[in-house]
Structure 1
Amino acid sequence: MYDRQAAVRYADKWWNSRNPAFPIFDDDCTSFISQCLLAGGAPMHGAPNREKGWWMYKGTWSFSFTVAHSLRWYLATSTKGLTATQVKSAQELRPGDVISYDLQGDGRFDHSTIVTAMDGDNPLVSAHTYNAHNRTWDYKDSYAYSPNAKYIFFKIHDDFS
């Protein structure tokens, strides 16, 4: 079972620093989201093939564990281990769910966040690279935002089979 609160607690603890148990990356938004999912009990699989599954093992990792575009495709297609359902709006999400961002609108997803709180029906997210905690999900106040930005909303499945 996915423990959403454990994922959120991890995000709340580490949003403004780095967990020394994991490799440090300059652009670490997706590694941080993966760490949150792992803290929530999401199962890893696919090692040692970096192009398969979602995992970190013995100093190496899958692309989906650390690259925003790869995590986006993994969540959209995975039928084993960590799985999710794409939904149409941010308002369908709840804490522990994930948003993928194509901030330039060029088809390449370049950022990942995790929902860590709600403001009414609107999710608030936490992230790394540029550390953020309980920020509005749409990133309209970010220097990286453009009017062409696209978002994909993923509800993480509570039961992993």
Structure 2
Amino acid sequence: MLRKGKLQLLCMILILIPVYNFSLFRAQAEPAQQDNVTPFLQDLFEDRTRLLMDQDKRHIEKHYLPKDKHSNYAYLHEINRAEYIQEWAKQRKIKLLNAESSIRIARAQVLGDTAKVSLVQSLKLSYEYIDSYPGQHDFGIGTRHGITLRKKDKRWYVEREWYSDPFEENPKKIEKTDSFFTPHKDPVTPERVVHKYNRARAVDYANKYAGTTWGAGNRQRYNQKYLDYNSKGGDCTNFASQVIGDAKEGGGLPMKSGWHYLYGRGGSQAWVQTDAFKHFLIRSGYGKIIGQGSFSDIIQSVNKRQQDLDQPQLQPGDLIAYVLKGDVDHFSVVVGFDQSGYPLVNSHTADRYRVPFDLGWDKTTKYLLIHIQD
């Protein structure tokens, strides 16, 4: 098992179910664009994006069948995620300014009144702080979707959908805090000096291979040298290992002590599994925990270390582990800070580019700040 929790199940469903269903429809399938599937999907995702900004349910009601249990569940899911991100913004004293969406259809096949679609969405969101720190910050989210559509009265509706949604949290469980990060006096950028760990190159790697999200390089695709573990429970740890360990483009930390990748075959347990990776980082001396606890605890830890420059600081190229019920569930890579000093991260599953590190999590999540030793 690579990652624990609901994302593992979602990713398995996302990958396996569309493949199975497509095989059933292949024999008599028609190209999707011949039956208005593509225009429907474009409208669907544009309307969902508008929903994120203003929570007006009327944007998406027309795309679902309220009397169908599965379709209504998919509809309520979208309502919940819009409530989550708006509540998160409210608690962080942030105003969402704009949202832009694009989709890339990987497979779409139609048989009669049913269509099976696999696609990826690239979402760009922009925000600013309400009371201070003038300036706009942009970040990206990328998600993979498996969708079943049903035609009724000569138009398409969403019947079922599966995807690993980073906003699938209870908006009432977002941790509230009166404190906030201290802005950095100078821009925090990794020095382009070659140490054991090439921090600047690690950040470049994280940005280049962030995946399906807006802002990512490499035509929004993963590094093809490595297997994609999304279908096996999640690719977040595999990606973090690549960032710090890729010898040609990444941080260049030497593989050792069970942490390695065999090209063409895959990664070791410590390379791809969350808890094993965390244990390796600490035991090997590659990483050191410099902060842990709730969102409020992380604020205090980061701010305190800024006042004591003799202690290791959280820097671009460091890692954040996300802990649920005592187990590490996710890894992300710190790639920078916004105007207020908020740590921004990249990750896989779901793909993120310069996202505020706690977006997509709630007060049940604990965090580990892991500083990679230069």
- The TM-score bracket by the shorter chain reads 0.7 to 0.9
1:28 is aligned to 235
Structure 1 position 23, deviation (Å): 0.8
Question: Which consecutive residues of structure 1, in runs of 5 or more, have no partner in the other structure?
Answer: 47-52
1:121 is aligned to 341
Aligned equivalent of 2:252, options 36, 41, 50: 41
* Higher mean displacement: 83-92 or 148-157: 83-92
Mapped partners of 1:60, 1:11: distance in 2: 19
* 1:75 maps onto 2:281 in alignment: yes
Aligned equivalent of 2:259, options 54, 77, 82: 54
What is the total number of aligned residue pairs between the two structures?
Answer: 143
What's the secondary structure of 2:328's corresponding residue?
Answer: coil
What root-mean-square deviation, in Å, do the aligned CA atoms of Structure 1 and Structure 2 show? Answer: 1.5
Aligned equivalent of 2:288, options 64, 68, 85: 85
Mapped partners of 1:76, 1:149: distance in 2: 20
Deviations 1:21-78 (A, max 9, x none): 10111110010111111111111013xxxxxx31112414221111112111212222
Percent identical among aligned pairs is 31
Mapped partners of 1:84, 1:76: distance in 2: 5
Mapped partners of 2:367, 2:266: distance in 1: 28
What's the secondary structure of 2:288's corresponding residue?
Answer: strand
Deviations 1:100-136 (A, max 9, x none): 101xx31111100011111243321000010001111
Mapped partners of 2:317, 2:326: distance in 1: 25
Question: Structure 2 length normalisation: TM-score?
Answer: 0.37
2:271 is aligned to 65
What's the secondary structure of 1:65's corresponding residue?
Answer: helix
Mapped partners of 2:282, 2:256: distance in 1: 16
Mapped partners of 2:256, 2:331: distance in 1: 20
Mapped partners of 2:357, 2:201: distance in 1: 20
User: Displaced runs of 4+ in structure 1, greater than 3 A?
Assistant: none
Rg larger in 1 or in 2?
2
Mapped partners of 1:121, 1:76: distance in 2: 26
Instruction: Report the residue type matching 2:328 in the other structure.
Output: F
1:14 is aligned to 209
What's the secondary structure of 2:226's corresponding residue?
Answer: coil
Taking the TM superposition and a 5 Å limit, the aligned residue runs for 1:95-106 are: 95-102=316-323, 105-106=324-325
* 1:149 maps onto 2:365 in alignment: yes
Instruction: Report the residue type matching 2:319 in the other structure.
Output: V
Question: Which consecutive residues of structure 2, in runs of 5 or more, have no partner in the other structure?
Answer: 1-195, 212-220, 292-297, 303-312
* Higher mean displacement: 25-34 or 67-76: 67-76
1:110 is aligned to 329
Q: Which is richer in helix?
A: 2
Structure ranking higher on relative contact order (CA contacts 8 Å, 6+ apart): 1
Instruction: Report the residue type matching 1:118 in the other structure.
Output: F
Mapped partners of 1:128, 1:118: distance in 2: 19
